Copies of this chain bind each other. A is one copy, B any other.
């Protein structure tokens, strides 16, 4: 027992309401569920009794028969607090919540932090507390994914998934992601359009993160039939990593005139390096970032031209996918488009 027994107080039930209003339980049930075939007069009477008694339907009972809860779990694996620092998660969650709210569903957020949490969360999801789950960020192939499979719980995976060699493809499971590849293409095409000819990239950890792989691929897509051989330096999505990678690029290719940096955080580091090396931005080197984290992109010197993702829309989409309100274009996975936001750095 978790909470002490004294915590339970008897609440009015459907039956109480029925007795008070002189109708049957069925009728009260109909009123509550807004069914048509009840006389207005009766509806009013029942409604009055409900509010007098302060009656609230017992969801457990309802759930037992309907198999529905009107609640959706959002499961967040939370490595090193990053979720709360990065506005990404905040925006995503907001989109999810708003879309679910539109459909009368309550989003409940669960955290996965320590190993023990897995079992408890699995029990929670398996226990029928929710109608479905949105998991973020979780690798397909995750232990929880198996559990969800076995339970037949509707689920959508989203965020920035990590994929490694040997991870099984699971085409059955819905998935939402930003258009990392297309966004990178936008960025590099912009640099090309600016007339830049020696376009380098500071890539993300493409041995670890899918998004980094895709952004690098987008860079290559554009340079393939173009102007400049690929000049790639890998970093780890941190500011310092971006600064170091920029230094390495300048050492190896002193003549570069543009750089696509695969995240705004890394780009802020890269800008610092460029400044230290006396390169003017954008005159000598044009810089484009990725993410459009305004807290970074608007405050760098110069402000950062970068690729924007509509993160809230991604959240909404995840919710809509789960609610099966939307037929995904091809299969259950959806890619959310990006757009370029021009500021001063390119």
Residues of A within 8 A of B (CB): 1-4, 7-9, 11, 54, 56-61, 63-64, 67-73, 81, 84, 87, 89-90, 93-94, 97, 101, 103-111, 113-114, 116-117, 120-121, 123-124, 126-129, 131-132, 150-154, 322-324
Contact = CB atoms under 8 A, between A and B. Distances in A.
A29 to B, nearest CB: 15
From DSSP, what is the main secondary structure of chain A's interface residues? mixed
Contacts of A59: 60, 127-129
Contacts of A68: 1-3
Given A2-B131, A3-B154, A64 B60 contact: yes
A114 B98 CA distance: 9
A120 B132 contact: no
A69 B120 CA distance: 12
A106 B124 contact: yes
Nearest to A113: B97
A54 B153 CA distance: 14
Give 3 nearest A-B pairs by CB, closest first.
A59-B127, A9-B152, A56-B126
Contacts of A106: 110, 120-121, 123-124
A132 B94 CA distance: 24
Contacts of A105: 2
Given A2-B323, A11-B151, A81-B90, A57 B103 contact: no
Given A3-B131, A60-B60, A101-B114, 17 more contacts: A2-B105, A2-B131, A2-B323, A3-B132, A3-B154, A3-B324, A7-B153, A11-B152, A56-B127, A56-B151, A60-B64, A81-B90, A84-B90, A97-B111, A106-B123, A106-B124, A109-B109
Contacts of A67: 8
A121 B123 CA distance: 23
A4 B127 contact: no
Given A2-B105, A89-B84, A129-B129, A56 B123 contact: yes
B90 A87 contact: no
Contacts of A131: 2-3, 7
B2 A104 contact: yes
A107 B101 contact: no
Nearest to A322: B3
Nearest to A11: B151
